[in-house]
Structures are given as structure tokens and as C-alpha cells.
Structure 1
Amino acid sequence: MNESKPTQTGVPSADRPWMQYYPPQLIENLEIPEQTIGEYLRAHCPGDDVVAMHYYGNDITWKQLFEQVDATARGLKALGLGEGDAIPTFLRAVPEFIYLLLAAEKIGASILCRDNTLEENVEAVRRSGAKVIFTQDYLSQRELNSYRHGSETQIAVLVSPYRSAHYASMPAHIQKYIDSNYPDKPAYGGRTMSWDWILEMGEKYTGQVEAPRDIDRPLFRAYTSGSTGPSKQVIHSAHTMIGNLHQMNFYGASDEFRPTWLMTQLPPSLVAVVVAMMLLPLASNKLLILDPFCAPEDVDLEMMRYRPNCWPLIPMFIETIMRNGRVPDDYDMSHLFSTGAGCEAFNNNQMKRAQKFLYDHNCKAQFTSGYGCSEAGSNLTLPMSSYPLGNGNVGIPMPLSVMSVFRPGTHEELGYNEMGEICVTGPGNMIGYDTARATARALQKHDDGRIWLHTGDIGYMNEDGVVYALTRGSAPRFGFPGKELATLPMENRLADAEIEGIKDEFFVIIPDTEHNHHFLPYLYVVLEDGYTIDDIKDDVDACLDDYMKPMDIFQLPERPFFHFKTNRIGLTQELIHSDL
């Protein structure tokens, strides 16, 4: 650690106080390589015969991985795909997804991922103009017809979850989950092809395969979750993906030990999954264990089966492990080298419960919170566990990125400990959205000449460069000028008060229909057995400032999740359409 603390001018983007925590020798040698993702992985490949990925009993070496990429690229060309084409992909995190991504890069195409409703997925394909889609083979005939009639889709390439697996090595609960996805009438007929058929077509292809090298052309298109508005298509190139990936890659394995990295359930329709959870372990000499067909409720079984050193956790996963009660009291979780939650904000109550659970199971790693977004290519910060955790502490900016806080709706940079919009300029920022208007709102050129990504998230930075992410978007409450309904600080007020009877709590903020551009808070709680809302209401009010007090409090049996996040979207819709 560099102990020298920089002189501060009051402007975080100029001071960059977080750099005091990075060793000077790291910064001197850290620059983003101008490589394709394929070139980047080859440069970090530990050897052709080393196992790159494990998929349900099947070890896939680096040699096999590169061979499959080449074969897939020829197959894509045989299908008539090439430079500039978008390839809609509805695969789980199976090995074939990685082959397809790297093959698309070779031929100059881009992968298009979306994991929303069928109607939204069909719309994404229609807008892409694609004639070929790739999907798991449990696509139903009804779904195929929806793609055919609602877009230009002519062919669906079907991939079996069992194709790259050793069936006998798959636990019963994995097979059960896979089988549960199959409809009564799977897609069939001349509009479908198997993955192996595509590879056979590629063997006969004799034309040019590789497109002119261009690390800045679109490569990966994914949609935001839509948690703060309409879902938007985010476009990344090899350059921007490596721009984020390379800033994390100095956490590589040592020569003496090669860690394992378990990737459960999360789909590659999320930028963070592809960049930080699939490409990062491959590029940093970790054994990537792909486990995409683990049901969300069975992540504890897979954690105990694989005993990974690294496991990308999200709040839903750690909550599931604690809820299920299947992890024995004497189970040793010391195999986990690092623990933390990304995906959404983690309040002090959640963090305390998670840390206690881990300590009780001999995991000594400090539980941290992460922060990032699709538009920035994945992670925006790295954990700062030596600084007091909780209260929205999400760590320090990555070494080649500059973060600061601006007055919402302006280019006015704020000082330390002033709450505003979190913005970042750096090599991981997206090319843009698929519409110029949306891109112009998010990527803005400031007076310093740099392009800043305006995240829409609200938080602040302290004098040491530690970022605190507090809520999504500005949410003023009518009658309280200058007061913002920042969900995380409000939840932490209740968490720190340790109100008797409350196990978990979170706020949902909805539009105030009587006052435009203002919002109203509602509180949801999970209570200990025997407690009611009446038992906690006075204590809740006593903890909160007047503008924070909820319009109403609702009891839930447990925190609900949807698309891997607390289901605030669903609860918001319920509130809006209720008779409150």
C-alpha cells in the first residue's frame, strides 16, 4: 500500500485520493492492452493442456476451448453470418456461450443477449434484424413461432444443456432442474438446427473466416434490468470489456496455487456475468466451474459440492443459503477466500447477518459490498475492507478509472462527503446505448474534455476516496425541500437501531401521483415469530426523520427476489395499482 496521502484540492477527480491504496509498481505497469478478447485470453493462457473450464464432470482444456472457438466461427460463416451482424443468444452460461462470443468476435459480429419476457425478447430480435437465433433446446414450438412471426427469425440453433456435460456426473437436483425447463411441445422441424449440425457445416466451409481486426466494433449487446426505467440495450466492444476486465486482473493466482471459481445460475445476459464472472477467472488463471443449471434454491448444495475458493455472491444467494438451513452448523466454509455481494445495495442488517453466518462457519473473509453497472462494463469499484464497512461503503474506484460525484442534472462536481450523482470516466465505459438520445443522456462530455458516464445512482465520496452508493436516482419528497428518499440510509437507520422483532427490512419508493417528480416511501419488513406491525411501528417512526417515515408498513414472510434482485419492481406495481 502506498501510504502517502495526496494533497487535496477539494475536487475528487483531480485529487484521486483512492490512488494512495494502490502500489506504485502496479500503476506503473498497468495499461489497457489493445487486444481482442481472444488475443487477451491467449496472452494469459497458462498452457494448452491446462483445464480452462469444468462443466458438470467435463474438464475442458485451453486447447479444446480455442479449437471449439475456431470450429464455431466456421459454422457461423457457413450459416451466412459475418461482419456487422447481431447474433441473438438465449443461452445459459454453458461452454457454448463462450465459444459463440469469441467466434462472433472472429467474424466481426456481435452477440445480443436479453433475458426478459418473451415479448421483450422477440422485440430485441426484431430490432436486430437477425435471421438466426441461438437458444437452449428447451425452446417451445410456441416460442419459436413467436420469434418467427414477430421478427425476421428463420433458424433457431438449439443447444442441449447436456451437450458438453458428463451426464452420469450430474447430481439429481441438477438433472431435475434441467428437465423442468422442457415444455410439452419443444421446438422442432426445418426451422431448427442443432449446435453439432452447425459445426458440421463449418467443416465444409472454405471461405474467409476472420473479419478485419477491430477492437472497437460492437461485440456484446445486453439489456439493463429495467429497475429504474425502461430496459435499455448496452453496447460494448472488446476494447471496453477488456478496459474493465484488465483493471481487476492483477488479482491473479499465484504460481503455487490455482483457485477455483464457481459460477452458479447467473445468466450471461448480464454484462457483469460475462466480464467479471466468466472472462475474469479465465484471464486470471483460475479454474472456471460453470454451473448454470443450479436452481436458485439449490445454490447451497452446489457450494458444498464444489467447495470453491471464489464464488460471485449476490444478496439473493447468501439469503438463500441462510434461509434453507441445509448447511450444517459444523460445515467449514474456510474454502472461500473472499466474500461479498454485488448486484444491488446491501444494508447493514443484511451485512451483519451474512457476516455472522460466515464467521459461524469458519469463513474468516470480510464480507464486502460491490458496486458497478452494465454501462461501465461491470465493476466500478474494488473492495476496501480495511475501511469501516457498511453504510453504503462499496470500496474505491478501480486504478485506471476516475470517479466523482456531481450535482444531479449538471456537470458541477461536488466536494467530499456531498451527496450527488455518481459518475465515472474510464476505459470500461460502454460504446453507448442503441439509441443516440439515450446515449447522449448517459455519456456526457464535460469541460475537462473527458466523457463521463452519468450512472443515475446517488451517493458520495469521502476524503480517502471511498465511494458510498446510497440509492438509485433522485427521489425528493413533497413538503420537504432538499430532502431525498435515499433507500439505503433509511434502511440502515432501522438496521442500526436493532428494533426488536425485525429480521429484515427494505423500502420501496413509488411516484407521488398528486405531486409530479416527487415520491413516497413504503416499508416492507420480515418479522420474528409472534411479532406484528403494531409491535414495531412506534420504534420505526422514532428512528426516522419525518421525511423518511413510510406511508405504510407491510409484513412479508421473506424478502422477495425477481431477476436476482429484491423485487421492488413487482412491489412498486402492486402499490401503484392498489387502492392505497
Structure 2
Amino acid sequence: METTVKTVRYASEARPWLAFYDKKFWDMEPPACTVFDYLCQQNKGHLTDIALSYYGNTISYADLIVNVKKTAAALRAIGMKKGDIATVVSVMTPEAIYLYYAADLLGATLNLVDPRYSPEGIRDYIQEVDSRLLFCLDAAYEKCRQAIKRTSVEKVVVISPADSLKGPVKLAYLLANHDKNRYGSNVVRWKAFLAAGQGESTAAEPYDPDHCCVVVHTGGTTGSPKGVMLGDNAFNSLIQQFTAYEEVFERQQRLLNVMPPFIAYGFACGVHLPLCLGITVVIVPNLDPAKLGRLVLKHKPSHMFGVPTHYQTLAEDRKLKNADLSFILNFAAGGDSLSLGAEKTVNDFLAAHGAPYPLAKGYGMTEVCSAATACAGHHNKPGSVGIPLVNTLVSVFEPGTDKELPIGERGEVCICGPATMQGYYGKPEETQIILRKHPDGRVWVHTGDLGYMDEDGYVFLDSRIKRMIIRHDGFKVFPTMIENALSMHPAVRGCSVVSCADKDHFQGRLPFAFIQLDPSCHKKKRQVVQELRQLCQEELPEYVQPVGYKFVDTPPYTPVGKVDYRALEQSIQPSDY
């Protein structure tokens, strides 16, 4: 009797995902130009198309380019030059986009900071890069005024959300939002800042492959916060790879931009990607999740890059009950895990409302300019985060080592591609921990995430290594395995599994589940818990069973919209299980 020997394949060699891409995309060389040059090249001959839409004010590509050059001239007038780093504390506005491309034109860098941080947090990020120039939203000025004490900041430019508004909309905003700030002598408003640049050169610095466009700060939920340096090549190569998804991208579609500018996901996928593909970016500076459905109906965007909770909110919005959503082509979820139950709920909702494709998904991290895998259009599998981008390698390695594991085996997900960061600002030792040169000569990003790749090239995640729960007996528990099971119960709207102390053993941790009930559920919580315990006993091994359940109306979130698992862990009391 003959025995069939299974062929062992390694992702870095086999690259099974290439079967989903047209061969013309397989070996693209990254554009050797700045992000501003790439924007201009991609829109040559289409300058009258609409680039930005901001509360009724439409800005063409021609106007966008002019505004970028005006901003670059103003930066030169205020003293900024090649190699300098300016800090920006703002939400997404047209001015933030002009600054992104203008600083690039000068060969300078933007240090992007969340305006919700405390004065002390803002000060730390200013001092980290030694900024002498600060741009801040007027609503964040008081915090910034306190933050710049004992720093190198010499000049402050204040941006108002009204700077790009027009007509009645601008008047209504100004009437409702009186600026009560008392500005210091080192402060200028955006309009005066631009005026001071008249007559200055708008000539671009030569392309430098080592130029850093932005410093984006990681959230610090898995260690100390770090400044990730992303260059022109990272942004441009990411966008170039997305051109391989020809079935969903087309000029002058609309993208609803709901992500902030201080994360890589916001600028890479929410700004540079659509603008380089000729897509109109509808800017929403400060999203109220309850109004998301209304915005979708108003703007009819083909695209949106968001986090899983955005789409769960849409699926429950009564305003969309009978709506035709056939215009939705690429609503993509990234930035956080998505349970199978939640994915099915959103996909059923999209299909019932005429959307031609299921929810798109992606996976990446700030260190790879936000995205390394994606599934858009028909190339999709439930539970997967997609296939690697066409010029990106994704494989699985024995955790913490350079030993590649065969396709199908679980291990640490690692990424090698042209969108990799230049490093952590001022932290070479920490850079070497995550960027490692393997014997194959490639530099791989060690993500700290556990997962596997199937035979077709689809990537599946188990959890972050630091979310993995290790029991006293050494058994490893993956929270997503439990979350996927729990999410299939009809009463569960959302769930998050974290670790809690093992009361019976000195060492080890055990899984604990937080549950959000579906509003339509009328069962008593005690009955729901009994049913969940039964479900887990049927679907999961004995050592994976949650030891406790706790109901929450809404889980805590980090500033960028991810579930704050650390806060959930800290909220568990011994009496809860």
C-alpha cells in the first residue's frame, strides 16, 4: 500500500498568494520618488478631479497641489529646512494633509501626535524629536501651551477646523465655537502663516531614499511607546501594491476618511492611498460613531478604512434598515481583531443591502506602514486577515527565532516588504529587536503576533504573543479561539477574552470573558452564561474553558479605537470568578 507524502512548503519560497494577482504586478519596483512627486505623477492629466471634500468645500487636485506648495513656502519662511522635524497635534483636516506633503517637498519630517494626550505626554513626544516648530489644533492649544514649557519649541502655528470651511458652514461653526484661547507672542494663525510665505521658493528638495516623512507613535499597549520612522518608499510602495486590486479601485470614487492622522493607518490608507488612485477623500475630522450611518447615506462612499466596531455599528443602524448599499465596494476592517460571529453579522448585513463584496479585511502594524495583508473584492475567507500584498512576504517562524515553519503550522507571523519602517526614532536597540536579518539575507519584522498561513496563502491570526494566556501546566490558550466560539451565540454582540489570575496555583493565568449583549436579547444574564458555558464545552478543549464571564455595555477602547485589553484585565475582581 502506497503512502502519500505531503510536500512541505515554505511561504517565503512558494508564495501561493501570487496566484490571486495578475503577473504584471508580481515584480514591481517601488517608485523612486517622494510621496508628493508620486501624488503629482498619479494625477497628471486629472487635475480638475476632486481630491478632498470637507463639509461641502471641494478641493481639486490642482488646488491641492497649489495649497501644498503654498504651505511649503510658508514652512521655508518660518525657518523649516531639510532634516528638520515639526510636531503636529491635530485631527484630520485639509491643513494636516497640506503639511504632510509640504514637509515632504522640503525634505523635512512631521512628528504626529494625538491631541487627546495630556500636556505631559505631548511634551515627551516634542522632546523626543527636539521640535522647534509646533502645529496644533486650536482646541488643543491650552494643553500644547503647557506642553512646550521647557522644550525647544520656538514657534506655534494654530489650525482651526474652520480654516478650510466656506460660506454659511464656516459662519455656523465660528458662532458655535468661540475661540477663547489667549495666545502667546510666539503664536501665529494658519492664515497669517501662509501669508508670510509669499515670495518664498516652492522648489522641491531632491529625492532622498533615506528621508523620513513622518514619525508615528505606537500606542504603548505592548511596551513603552516608540516613534516609528516611515519614509517615502514605505508610503509609495504600499499604495503601488494596492493598485493590484483593480476590481475595486477606480478614479473619482469616494472614500470616507474616519481615521486620525496620528496613526499610520490614517495617512497611508486614508489619505495617500486614495489620493494617488484619484479617489475623492471625504474628510471627517472627529467621527461620532452614532452618525456613521447618516454619513454613509449622505456621501455614498465606495471605500472606508476603519476598525471592526465601525462596521458592527453600521450593521445595527436603523437608518440603514431599507437602504441600498450597492455602492459599497471596499469597506475594510483593520487595527483590531474581528471575531467570526461579528464578521458574519456584518457580511449578512452587506449582502442584504446589495453590497457586491463582503467586508474587506487587512492586517499590519505601524512598523510596516499599516498594512501587509488584505482581502478585497471576492478574494476573501471568513476568519482570515487576507493574503499578503503582492510584493510583500509574510511567513510564520518559530517564535523569537529565524527558523521558518512550513505552511499550515502555527508560529510568530513575520513580514518582509518594501513598506518596512526605517526604525524607531532614537532607539536602535529596540529597532534591532523587531527588525532582524535572517540567514536568507532578508530583514524580517517580528510582529509578536501568532498565527498561520493556509495552502492558498491566506493568513489567520491567533493572538498577540503578549495576549496569549499560559496556564500553570504550560498549556497555551489563544483568546481569539474562545472569542470566535462565543461570538457565534445569537445573544452576543461582542466579546473580549483576557487573562486572570489562577486562584489555585501560584503560577499561570486563566481565560476570562467579557460579553456585550445584543440589545434584542431578553434572556436573563444567568441563562446566557449557562448557554455560553455549554457552547464552549461543545466547541473548545477542556483547558480552554473561560473561568468567568462579565457583562459590559461597551468595552474600554484605546485612543485609536482598539479594545483596551489591559484595562479589562485590571477591572477583574476575585469575586468575578
2:71 maps to amino acid? T
Q: Is the 8 A contact 1:253 1:259 kept in 2?
A: no
Give the 5 Å matches for 1:4-403: 9-27=8-26, 30-45=28-43, 46-115=45-114, 117-118=117-118, 119-141=120-142, 143-169=143-169, 185-205=180-200, 210-251=204-245, 258-264=252-258, 266-327=259-320, 329-383=321-375, 386=378, 389-391=381-383, 393-403=384-394
1:13 maps to amino acid? S
Equivalent of 2:486 in 480, 483, 494: 494
> 1:379 is paired with a residue of what secondary structure?
coil
Q: Is the 8 A contact 1:253 1:286 kept in 2?
A: no
Distance in structure 1 (CA, Å) of the matches to 2:152 and 2:250: 52
1:164 maps to amino acid? S
Q: 380-389 or 396-405, which moves further after superposition?
A: 380-389
Quote the residue 2:550 is aligned against: 554
Deviation at 1:292, TM superposition (A): 1.5
Unaligned runs of 5+ in 1: 1-6
Give the 5 Å matches for 1:487-526: 487-496=479-488, 498=489, 501-509=491-499, 518-526=508-516
Distance in structure 1 (CA, Å) of the matches to 2:53 and 2:339: 34
Quote the residue 2:424 is aligned against: 433
Q: Is the 8 A contact 1:423 1:453 kept in 2?
A: yes
Deviation at 1:211, TM superposition (A): 3.6
Distance in structure 2 (CA, Å) of the matches to 1:291 and 1:158: 19
Deviation at 1:348, TM superposition (A): 0.8
Quote the residue 1:4 is aligned against: none
Distance in structure 2 (CA, Å) of the matches to 1:80 and 1:95: 22
1:425 maps to amino acid? C
Q: Is the 8 A contact 2:57 2:166 kept in 1?
A: yes
Q: 429-438 or 531-540, which moves further after superposition?
A: 531-540
Equivalent of 2:571 in 567, 570, 574: 574
Deviation at 1:168, TM superposition (A): 2.8
| Structure 1 residue 470 corresponds to structure 2 residue 465 | no
Deviation at 1:242, TM superposition (A): 1.1
After superposition, the Cα gap between the structure-2 partners of 1:518 and 1:154, relative to the gap in structure 1 and judged at 3 Å, is: farther
Deviations 1:477-506 (A, max 9, x none): 23333x32222122112234x3x6433322
Q: Is the 8 A contact 1:76 1:202 kept in 2?
A: yes
Deviation at 1:323, TM superposition (A): 4.1
> 1:203 is paired with a residue of what secondary structure?
coil
Deviation at 1:295, TM superposition (A): 2.2
Q: Is the 8 A contact 2:33 2:232 kept in 1?
A: yes
Q: 116-125 or 278-287, which moves further after superposition?
A: 116-125
> 1:480 is paired with a residue of what secondary structure?
coil
| Structure 1 residue 447 corresponds to structure 2 residue 439 | yes
Quote the residue 2:523 is aligned against: 530
Q: 555-564 or 449-458, which moves further after superposition?
A: 555-564
Distance in structure 2 (CA, Å) of the matches to 1:375 and 1:254: 26
RMSD, aligned CA:
2.9
Q: Is the 8 A contact 2:436 2:443 kept in 1?
A: yes
1:230 maps to amino acid? S
Quote the residue 1:3 is aligned against: none
Distance in structure 1 (CA, Å) of the matches to 2:151 and 2:508: 39
Quote the residue 2:3 is aligned against: none
Distance in structure 2 (CA, Å) of the matches to 1:414 and 1:430: 24
After superposition, the Cα gap between the structure-2 partners of 1:17 and 1:250, relative to the gap in structure 1 and judged at 3 Å, is: closer
Deviations 1:441-460 (A, max 9, x none): 11000000110011111100
Q: 504-513 or 119-128, which moves further after superposition?
A: 504-513
Distance in structure 1 (CA, Å) of the matches to 2:117 and 2:283: 25
> 2:238 is paired with a residue of what secondary structure?
helix
1:34 maps to amino acid? A
Distance in structure 2 (CA, Å) of the matches to 1:576 and 1:366: 39
After superposition, the Cα gap between the structure-2 partners of 1:209 and 1:24, relative to the gap in structure 1 and judged at 3 Å, is: closer
> 1:219 is paired with a residue of what secondary structure?
strand
Deviations 1:388-447 (A, max 9, x none): 6223x1111111111100011111111121111100111010001120111001100000
Deviation at 1:320, TM superposition (A): 2.3
1:308 maps to amino acid? P
Quote the residue 1:406 is aligned against: 397
After superposition, the Cα gap between the structure-2 partners of 1:387 and 1:100, relative to the gap in structure 1 and judged at 3 Å, is: closer
Distance in structure 2 (CA, Å) of the matches to 1:286 and 1:315: 23
2:17 maps to amino acid? W
Q: Is the 8 A contact 2:227 2:424 kept in 1?
A: yes
After superposition, the Cα gap between the structure-2 partners of 1:232 and 1:578, relative to the gap in structure 1 and judged at 3 Å, is: farther
Q: Is the 8 A contact 1:501 1:531 kept in 2?
A: no
**Scaled by the length of structure 2, what TM-score is found?**
0.90
**Scaled by the length of structure 1, what TM-score is found?**
0.89
Unaligned runs of 5+ in 2: 1-5
Distance in structure 1 (CA, Å) of the matches to 2:544 and 2:198: 64
Q: Is the 8 A contact 1:476 1:517 kept in 2?
A: no
Deviation at 1:514, TM superposition (A): 9.9
Deviations 1:359-401 (A, max 9, x none): 232223212332111111121112066566223x111111111
> 2:306 is paired with a residue of what secondary structure?
coil
Distance in structure 2 (CA, Å) of the matches to 1:139 and 1:101: 19
Distance in structure 2 (CA, Å) of the matches to 1:139 and 1:18: 45
Deviations 1:93-130 (A, max 9, x none): 21111111111112221011121522222200112111
After superposition, the Cα gap between the structure-2 partners of 1:355 and 1:171, relative to the gap in structure 1 and judged at 3 Å, is: farther
Distance in structure 1 (CA, Å) of the matches to 2:196 and 2:503: 58
